[in-house]
Amino acid sequence: MNVPENPEGRSRVPPTPWRIFIELAKINTVTLGGGYVIVPVIGNTFEKLGWINEKDFYQVFSRAQVFPGPIALSTAFLVSYRVGGVIGAIAAVLGVVLPPFFALILVGGFISLYGNTLLFKRFLAGAGAVVPGLVASMLWRTAKNRKWTVRTAIEVIVFAVALAAFTSQAFFILLGGIILLYVGRLIWKS
């Protein structure tokens, strides 16, 4: 596989599947706040270990965004494939999936024990109440960082209205809509 030579000449840890698993598991246990927080941490860690340089990492990251699924998973998968081959990629999946899984099992157990107490219900209601606000700020940040044209604005609005109007069919609308946009642009360009 593509084991990168180490540009700085530092002694480096070989990217064995076990090591890849451990590094990713550590990151995924302690990092809160979603994919775009985790990805730079993965990048820094892999760079420090001498497995990949920054430019290559962000190249892989930009490729990872074309795939569905959590961005932390796709980035970890593709980067680990690059540094550790097929077994490395499998190790990466386990490293991303297992720590949150066990954390959630603990939380789930906790909720089944205390979920019915009034105090805990109030906590959950309060925590849930801010969620729409957080989504709105995500929308704001994404919209701000995009280059808008009349065309893209119309596309987004039509797409969103279709989704909101036929919520129960969201899956097919999304799948069809993304394919339609891609094919449409392909034909437009040619």
Partner 1 sequence: MEILSVSLAFFKIGIVAFGGGWSVVGLIKSEIVPRWMTADAFNSLIAIAQSTPGPIALNAATLVGWQKAGLFGALAATFSVIAFPVLAMSLALAFAKYIPLKKSIADESLRTGSMAMILMTLWTLLPQTTVAWPWIFTLVAFAVTAFTKFNAVWIILGSGVLNMLIGVLH
Instruction: Looking at residues 21 to 80 of the shown chain, list those that interact with partner 1 (rule: CB under 8 A).
Output: 28-36, 63, 65-74, 77-78
What's the burial of 57, exposed, middle or buried (CB within 10 Å: 0-12/13-18/19+)?
buried
Nearest approach in angstroms of CB 45 to partner 1 is 15
Nearer to partner 1, 15 or 99 (CB): 99
Among 22, 104, 113, 114, binds partner 1 (CB under 8 A): 104
Among 5, 10, 127, 150, binds partner 1 (CB under 8 A): 127
Sequence-distant (≥ 6) Cβ neighbours of residue 76 within 8 angstroms: 24, 42, 92, 93, 95, 96
* Nearest-angstrom CA–CA distance, 3 and 111: 45
* Nearest-angstrom CA–CA distance, 183 and 175: 12
Nearest to 40 by CA among 12, 61, 19: 61
User: Binding of partner 1 at residue 97 (CB under 8 A)?
Assistant: yes
Nearest approach in angstroms of CB 121 to partner 1 is 9
The region, left, alpha or beta by phi > 0 then psi within -120 to 50, assigned to residue 9 is left
Nearer to partner 1, 13 or 135 (CB): 135
Compute and round to an integer the Cα radius of gyration of the chain: 21
Nearest approach in angstroms of CB 142 to partner 1 is 6
Among 1, 3, 22, 170, binds partner 1 (CB under 8 A): 170
Phi then psi for residue 99, to 5 deg, are -60, -50
Nearest to 100 by CA among 15, 38, 44: 38
> Which residue is listed with tokens 């929308």?
139
Nearest approach in angstroms of CB 141 to partner 1 is 7
Among 22, 108, 113, 114, binds partner 1 (CB under 8 A): 108
Which residue stretch of 6-14, 40-48, 49-57, 93-101 sits at the interface with partner 1 (rule: CB under 8 A)?
A: 93-101
User: Binding of partner 1 at residue 141 (CB under 8 A)?
Assistant: yes
User: Binding of partner 1 at residue 168 (CB under 8 A)?
Assistant: yes
